Amino acid sequence: MPAGELQGGVLRLRLEIREGSWHPEDDHGQSLTVQAFAEEGAPMQIPGPLLRVPEGTEVHASVHNRLSTIATVHGLHERPGDPDAGIRVDPGETREAVFKAGVPGSYYYWATTTEKPLGAREGIETQLSGAFIVDPSTGPLPGRIFVIGLWYQMPDSSHPFHQVLVINGKSWPYNEVLNYGLHSNIRWVWLNTSGSPHPMHLHGNFFRVDSVGDGEKDITYDAADRRTVFTELMTPGSTMSLDWTPAMPGRWIFHCHILSHISSDLLLSPTADPNSIAGDHTGQMAGLVLGIRVASSPTEIAPPDHNLPVRQLRLFVRNRPARDGLSAGYAYQVQDGQSEPSPDAATVPGSPLVLTRGQPVEITVVNESDEPTTVHWHGIQVPSYYDGVPGFGGIGTLITPAIAPGTSFVARYTPPHAGTFFYHTHWHDVLQLTGGLYGSLVVMPPEQTFDPSIDKVFVIGRGGPDLVMDPLLVNGSANPPALSLKSGITYRFRFINITPDESETNVTLLAGGSPVNWRPIAKDANELSPASQVPRPASQTVAVGETYDFEFQPLEPGDLALKVTSIKNTVVTPIQVR
C-alpha cells in the first residue's frame, strides 16, 4: 500500500526513523530491538513505508531522525542515480529531498546509523529499508512486492552467531501464505536489501525473469532474452521482477536454496510449534520461505495416462559407511527392473536418474536409513503431493508425509520437460544433504538416448557441514580422476550445484591457465535465447539450486583442467584430450 499523499503529480511523504521492538515470528513472541522507518505519526514498518509513484512524479520526501545517533539515508533520489549519494540526518533533525522519480523500475531506499554500506549492516540497523517503485505512465503493473531482510549479530563472549531472515518483515512459518488460481498470471517484484546472496527456487513451476537491477538502475529484458528458470541467484542489493503461471494445483513454496537460510535453527523461539501456523514439517524449515496455495476444482493428484507404459523404479535411501575419503553418511541407490543394488556399492552422488519426457514413472522410495527423510525432484514439474515438502505439500486434505525409517513412499509423475535437473533430500538436515542424499536427474526427449560417452554430468556437493574443514566435491570426490575426451567430438557438459550454502561457486574450463571457449545451451533445463548461445570464455557462476548446460568441442589433443572454486575450496578435474 503506497505511503504519502499523491496530488497533481507531486508526492509528499513524511518519514521518521525510530527504534522499537520487532517481532519477526509470532506477534506476541520473542522480539528484537531494531531501527525502522515509519510515516509521521504512524507505527513503524518492516519493510519501511512503500514509496510508489508514476514516472514523472515529483517527490517531496522528508526524514525526521528520532534516534540518538546520526542516520544516513540512501536512495531518496531520481533513478538511475548515484549509490553513494546520501542524506545525513542528525539526531532530532529533519531533512528533505526533492527529486523526480525517474525511469520506471523496482528500487529501494535504505539507511545506516553506523556509516556501513548496505551489505555490511549488522543488528539494530539491518531493517532500515523500504521499496521504491516507479510505475510507467500507462499505469501500475499488477503483482506483489517482496523485500528480503536479514538481521544478524556477530558472536562474542555473551552470545553465539545468530541470524533471522524475513520476507516483508516475517519469517516462515509466521509469514503470509499466498492464494492463487490455477493458470493465473502472477507477477512478483523481489528486492534483496540484505547483505547476503539468495538463490531463489520455485517448486513445481518455472518462472520467467523479466528484469534485474541493483537498487539504482533496473534493466528490463527484451522478450527474446527473458530467461525461464527454476532458480535465480539474487546477489546482495539486487532486484528482480518475475512472472509465472501455476501449472498444477496444490501447495508450493518459493525459497532461498541456502540451507542455513531456511533452517529451523533460525527460529528465535525453537520450542514454538510451526505445525499450528503453516503445517510445516516438525519445524524443519524457517526463515526465507514463501508458501503458495493454488486452488482448482479437480481432486485427482495425478491423472494416469493409460496410453503409455509406466516405468517402475525403486529408490533406496541407505546409511553409507565411511569410504573413499568421506565420512559415514547416506546414499541413494536406484533399482531399475534389475536385482536390488548392494549397499556396499552405494556412491556419492546417488545413482543418476535418466527419465524420458512424457513417459509416466512411479518411483518407490524405500527408506532403509535411520532417519526420516523426503525426496524433492528439483525443477521437475510434479504434483505437489509428490514434491517432497512434508507437512505442507499436497492438495486439499492430502498432505505430503515424511518417509519414516522402515517405510516407503511412491512418487508418481510424468516429466513434461527435458533437461538437466537433480533430486535431493528435502528434510532440512545438513547432515543428510552433505552426507550424500543427492543425485543427478536428466530428462531426455523421447527421440534421444542419454550417451555418457559424450554427455558429461558434474555434480558439485560438499563432504560435510563445515564450509572450512569439509571438502568441496565434484561427483563425490575432492580429487576427481582424469576425464578423457577426443578432439573433434562435441560434448555436452551439465553442471549441478547441490552444496548446502555455496551460492557463488565458479566453474572454469582451462587450457594452460586460460579459459577455452564453450557454447552456453541451457540454464535450469530451459534453452537459452539465440543471442546467448554464442561461444564465450568457459567461466560460469553456478549458484546452489541452479543447473547449466554447455557445449564443448576440443579441437586438438592436449591437457585441460576443469576448476570448480567455492568460498574456501578448489577442486580440479584433469582432462586429457586425445
- Rounded to 10 degrees, the C-alpha dihedral 80/14/52/87 comes to 20
Cα distance between residue 185 and residue 183, in whole Å: 7
DSSP 170: B
Nearest to 472 by CA among 500, 441, 432, 442: 500
What are the structural domains, with CATH classification, of the chain? Answer: 5-153 (2.60.40.420), 162-295 (2.60.40.420), 312-444 (2.60.40.420), 455-577 (2.60.40.420)
Taking CA 180 as the corner, what is the angle to CA 178 and CA 181, rounded to the nearest 5 degrees? 165
Preceding omega of 574 cis (within 30 degrees of 0): no
Preceding omega of 47 cis (within 30 degrees of 0): yes
pLDDT at position 160, please?
Answer: 75
Mapping DSSP to helix (H, G, I), strand (E, B) and coil, where does residue 179 land?
A: strand
Residues near 73 by Cβ (< 8 Å), separated by ≥ 6? 17, 63, 86, 87, 89, 95, 109, 110, 111
pLDDT at 250 over 50: yes
Q: Are 462 and 554 in contact (CB under 8 A)?
A: no
pLDDT at 410 over 50: yes
pLDDT at position 280, please?
Answer: 42
Tell me, what amino acid is at 200? M
556 compared with 503, residue with greater pLDDT:
556
In tens, the pLDDT along 43-86 reads 999 999 999 999 999 999 999 999 999 999 999 999 999 888 89
Mapping DSSP to helix (H, G, I), strand (E, B) and coil, where does residue 345 land?
A: helix
In tens, the pLDDT along 301-343 reads 545 555 678 999 999 999 999 988 889 999 999 999 888 999 9
Strands 536-537, 526-527: pairing is unpaired
State mean pLDDT over 513-536: 96
DSSP 351-390: PPEEEETT--EEEEEEE-SSS-B-EEEET----GGGSS-T
pLDDT at position 276, please?
Answer: 39
Cα distance between residue 182 and residue 184, in whole Å: 5
CA dihedral sign, ordered 476, 498, 392, 273: positive
Per-residue three-class SS string for 241-282: EEEECCCCCEEEEEEECCHHHCEHHHCCCCCCCHHHCCCCHH
DSSP 464: S
Preceding omega of 465 cis (within 30 degrees of 0): no
Range scoring the smallest mean pLDDT among 124-138, 338-352, 484-498, 518-532: 338-352
The three cell numbers locating residue 494: 551439465
Cα distance between residue 135 and residue 139, in whole Å: 6
In tens, the pLDDT along 452-484 reads 999 999 999 999 988 778 999 999 999 999 999
253 pLDDT band, cuts 50/70/90, is very high
Number of H helices, E strands in the chain: 1, 46
Please give the sequence-ordered ranges of beta strands (E in DSSP) within 44-124, or none if there are none.
Answer: 44-45, 48-54, 58-65, 71-74, 86-89, 94-100, 105-112
Nearest to 330 by CA among 317, 315, 345, 343: 317
272 pLDDT band, cuts 50/70/90, is very low
Q: Are 290 and 175 in contact (CB under 8 A)?
A: yes
Cα distance between residue 291 and residue 289, in whole Å: 7
Q: Are 107 and 218 in contact (CB under 8 A)?
A: yes
Nearest to 452 by CA among 462, 464, 440: 440
Q: What percentage of the chain exceeds 70 in pLDDT?
A: 95
Query: Residue 330's CB: how many other CB atoms inside 10 A?
Result: 25
Q: Are 506 and 573 in contact (CB under 8 A)?
A: no
pLDDT at position 303, please?
Answer: 52
Cα distance between residue 246 and residue 248, in whole Å: 6
Mapping DSSP to helix (H, G, I), strand (E, B) and coil, where does residue 556 land?
A: coil
- Kindly report the average pLDDT of the chain as a whole number: 93
Cα distance between residue 12 and residue 99, in whole Å: 11
State mean pLDDT over 239-245: 98
**What is the pTM (predicted TM-score) of this model?**
0.95
pLDDT at position 271, please?
Answer: 53
pLDDT at position 533, please?
Answer: 95
Residues near 309 by Cβ (< 8 Å), separated by ≥ 6? 359, 360
Cα distances from 219 to residues 46, 88, 106, 207, in angstroms, run 26, 29, 9, 17
